[in-house]
């Protein structure tokens, strides 16, 4: 397995180009299952999760064409999908086991082909991660759902119909799945307590571009008037707010100055305000954000993760890395996932002073310095937190299990090297 080696201590300065958002691209890719026309997605990040989802779609019978172009000396990828000859309606265990977001095929397949089978995702490193809201909502829309041999087997012989659905939690995944299912259902679906993340707005724009009738974008009440048929279109994947927030912390923690090109400040309001409270300079521009940590004194600050527009759980680990070297204490409260402090013992091995209280709270008391160590994390964002700690730690840090990072950070070493980090990938065969 590849590793990442970092020699800490370099101040990072320059520009980092922010890629398309993984979490937006995943449901956009699956929306292509709703039509036999071509759907083109631009600004798709080159990540193993995307490669993986593409292989699941190919397995179902979707034809995929890839193209690249150079923009601002960045390679931008586009994929065109044509689901005009679907042969399979099953997302098998081997796919779902490797990537939970495979469940995004459920809504579109069931709605267009009246049948879908999905291996149950099961638990994962950051908690139980149930899909009960997805399933009960589809049942409300007329689906018969059975669990057989570890699979969700869903049928809707006379098609799905509209329904008034109230989500018990503002689930991102369920909002995407039900939006896709409702787009082709008969009648009107109303979702209350829908998620409002920018990735959902991106999906609504794509679906409406395909001929869907969805109202309520950016609010927690979505109304979808089902249509008989959807058609092809093209759209750009929204810039990745979590990638931008992660590199913002890289600038702050190394007392450097980085311009995050293509980042959207409006999608990062909470994290940017927290950075300011921690003493870091933030300048919001039209299509970039400048994070300035040069000469700044970093101060401890509390965070509470919440549904958008609250502080994103996907930036909790990275901000905790910053808190480890801040002056004073910080309280981190994780309200979305029940088991999302796996980075804590690893940060402590690097010299951090963190105490976990119960499942949801951690107190970080800032220390003067971290020291490099071999570390590993069990999820994507926690792995990035260890990279951040490595950037500021004295000596060498080896981050193991790099496949987590490859799932969600496009060209990570190249981007960090470009702003002055001493970082390299040690290939398995090296
Ligand atoms: C998405 C993101 C993930 C992020 C999370 C919260 C993707 C691919 N992943 O995950 O990076 O951390 O949003 O912002 O976009 N829940 C249920 N039943 C359900 C569904 C969810 O109880 O059927 C609960 C979950 O256990 C969790 C909360 O709802 O406590 C939010 O989960 P959800 O928004 O669905 O997360 P994902 O879409 O899986």
Does the global pTM surpass 0.75? yes
Is any atom of ligand 1 closer than 6 Å to the C-beta of 21?
A: no
The pLDDT of residue 61: 97
Residue nearest (by alpha carbon) to ligand 1 atom 17: 130
Tokens representing 251 are: 């600038």
- State the Cα–Cα distance between residues 345 and 350, nearest whole angstrom: 9
Is any atom of ligand 1 closer than 6 Å to the C-beta of 175?
A: no
* 414 CB neighbour count, 10 Å cutoff: 11
DSSP one-letter code for 305 = B
- State the Cα–Cα distance between residues 80 and 361, nearest whole angstrom: 44
Residue showing tokens 């631009």:
42
195 CA distance to ligand 1 middle (Å): 10
Beta bridge partners of 226: none
Closest Cα to residue 38, out of 57, 62, 54? 62
- State the Cα–Cα distance between residues 21 and 232, nearest whole angstrom: 21
Q: Starting from the edge strand earliest in sequence, which strands make up the sheet with 188-192, in order?
A: 164-166, 188-192, 221-225, 213-215
150 CA distance to ligand 1 middle (Å): 21
- Which are the contacts of 102, defined by CB distance < 8 A and separation ≥ 6? 53, 56, 91, 95, 96, 118, 119, 121
Is any atom of ligand 1 closer than 6 Å to the C-beta of 243?
A: no
The pLDDT of residue 124: 62
- State the Cα–Cα distance between residues 263 and 260, nearest whole angstrom: 6
Beta strands 3-7; 396-400: pairing state = antiparallel
The pLDDT of residue 115: 98
Please name each of the domains of the chain with its CATH number. 3-19+239-426 (3.65.10.10), 22-236 (3.65.10.10)
The pLDDT of residue 415: 97
394 CA distance to ligand 1 middle (Å): 36
Is any atom of ligand 1 closer than 6 Å to the C-beta of 173?
A: yes
Tokens representing 198 are: 């920018």
Query: pLDDT (tens digit, 0 to 9) for every residue of the chain, 430 residues total?
Result: 889 999 999 999 999 999 999 999 999 999 999 999 999 999 999 999 999 999 999 999 999 999 998 887 788 999 999 999 999 999 999 888 888 899 999 999 999 999 999 998 765 666 667 899 999 999 999 999 999 999 999 999 999 999 999 999 999 999 999 999 999 999 999 999 999 999 999 999 999 999 999 999 999 999 999 999 999 999 999 999 999 999 999 999 999 999 999 999 999 999 999 999 999 999 999 999 999 999 999 999 999 999 999 999 999 999 999 999 999 999 999 999 988 999 999 999 999 999 999 989 999 999 999 999 999 988 899 999 999 999 999 999 999 988 889 999 999 999 999 999 999 999 876 5
Beta strands 281-284; 257-261: pairing state = unpaired
The pLDDT of residue 73: 79
Residue nearest (by alpha carbon) to ligand 1 atom 1: 172
186 exposure class (CB count in 10 Å sphere: 0-12, 13-18, 19+): middle
Annotation says 348 is catalytic: no
Tokens representing 255 are: 């007392």
The pLDDT of residue 123: 56
* Angle at alpha carbon of residue 100, lines to 98 and 101, rounded to 5°: 120
């Amino acid at each position: 397995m590849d590793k990442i080696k970092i020699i800490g201590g370099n101040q990072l300065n320059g520009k980092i180009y922010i890629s398309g958002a993984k979490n937006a691209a995943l449901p956009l890719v699956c929306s292509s299952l709703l039509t036999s026309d071509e759907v083109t997605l631009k600004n798709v990040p080159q990540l193993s999760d995307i490669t993986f989802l593409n292989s699941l779609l190919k397995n179902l019978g979707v034809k995929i064409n890839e193209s690249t172009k150079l923009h601002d000396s960045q390679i931008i990828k586009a994929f065109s999908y044509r689901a005009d000859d679907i042969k399979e309606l099953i997302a098998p265990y081997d796919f779902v086991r490797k990537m939970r977001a495979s469940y995004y095929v459920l809504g579109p397949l069931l709605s267009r082909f009246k049948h879908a089978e999905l291996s149950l995702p099961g638990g994962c490193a950051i908690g139980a991660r149930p899909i009960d809201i997805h399933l009960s909502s589809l049942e409300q829309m007329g689906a018969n759902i059975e669990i057989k041999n570890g699979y969700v087997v869903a049928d809707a012989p006379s098609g799905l119909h509209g329904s008034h659905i109230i989500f018990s939690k503002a689930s991102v995944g369920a909002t995407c799945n039900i939006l896709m299912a409702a787009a082709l259902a008969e009648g009107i679906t109303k979702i209350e307590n829908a998620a409002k993340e920018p990735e959902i707005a991106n999906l609504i724009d794509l679906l409406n571009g395909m001929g869907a009738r969805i109202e309520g974008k950016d609010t927690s009440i979505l109304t979808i008037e089902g249509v008989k048929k959807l058609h092809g279109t093209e759209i750009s994947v929204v810039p990745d707010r979590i990638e931008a927030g992660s590199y913002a912390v890289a600038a702050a923690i190394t007392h450097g100055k980085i311009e995050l090109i293509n980042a959207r400040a409006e999608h990062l309001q909470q994290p940017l305000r927290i950075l300011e409270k921690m003493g870091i300079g933030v300048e919001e521009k039209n299509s970039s954000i400048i994070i300035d940590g040069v000469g700044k004194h970093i101060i401890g600050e509390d965070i509470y993760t919440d549904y958008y527009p609250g502080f994103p759980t996907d930036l909790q680990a990275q901000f905790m890395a910053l808190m480890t070297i801040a002056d004073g204490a910080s309280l981190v409260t994780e309200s979305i996932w029940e088991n999302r402090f796996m980075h804590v013992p690893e940060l402590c091995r690097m010299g951090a002073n963190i105490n976990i209280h119960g499942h949801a709270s951690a107190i970080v008391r800032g220390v003067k310095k971290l020291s490099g160590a071999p570390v590993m994390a069990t999820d994507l964002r926690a792995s990035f937190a260890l990279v951040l700690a490595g950037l500021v730690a004295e000596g060498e840090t080896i981050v193991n299990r790099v496949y987590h990072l490859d799932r969600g950070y496009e060209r990570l070493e190249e981007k960090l090297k470009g702003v002055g980090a001493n970082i390299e990938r040690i290939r398995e065969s090296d």
